[in-house]
Amino acid sequence: MSIEKNGFPEAALAQMVLPYQANPAGNVHGGEIMKIMDTAAGAAAQKHCHTNVVTACVDELRFKKPILVGELITCTAQVIYAGNTSMEVFVTVESENLMKTDGVQIALTAFFTMVSLDENGRPQTVPRLNMAFESLYEEKLYKAGEKRYMSHRKRKKGS
């Protein structure tokens, strides 16, 4: 599902967690969730640039709570900054036990850097985000994305 929220290009994926995705204790493997996050980040980035994209970097993958078999997870990805050929995408995973009334809880967050590719598999320019911030949250996300983009550029030039 693709949606636009807070003015950022966004994509969301939802699924029930099944036993084959978990360890014997019923906790979902982190790699299973990372794959879903990567897919959502790619969808949001493609929605923004309308090209093939690849994952260049994953930063600050934070596990906030375990996800258990039987829970519904919803993974939301937002393009929060667009540089020259890459985009910073903030991804949030929420979990919910549908058999209880605990509500929705944030289980993981991460920042993905996605690169736009042309037909020959080479990086290509992406459209800029034209933001008219409607909230401090939007502005904070955008500035966090810009800061990450600049940090990645600095590291790349240094190597």
Amino acid identity for residue 79 in this structure: V
Q: DSSP character for 138?
A: H
Q: Is 7 left (phi over 0), alpha (psi -120 to 50) or beta?
A: left
- With a pLDDT cut of 90, the percent of the chain lying above it is 69
Can you give the CATH number for the domain in which 113 is found? 3.10.129.10
Number of domains in the chain: 1
The whole-number pLDDT of residue 65 equals: 95
pLDDT at 4 over 50: no
pLDDT at 12 over 60: yes
The whole-number pLDDT of residue 159 equals: 66
Beta bridge partners of 73: 15, 95
The sign one gets for the Cα dihedral 36, 108, 153, 138 is positive
Q: Which of 90, 4, 92, 86 shows the shortest CA–CA distance to 47?
A: 4
Parent domain of 97: 2-158
Which residue shows structure tokens 């967690």?
17
Each residue of 97-118: pLDDT tens digit? 999 878 999 999 999 999 999 9
Q: Which of 21, 56, 30 shows the shortest CA–CA distance to 42?
A: 56
Model pTM score: 0.89
In angstroms, rounded to a whole number, what is the distance separating the alpha carbons of residues 111 and 146?
12
Mean pLDDT of 11-20: 96
Each residue of 57-100: pLDDT tens digit? 999 898 999 999 999 999 999 999 999 999 999 999 999 999 98
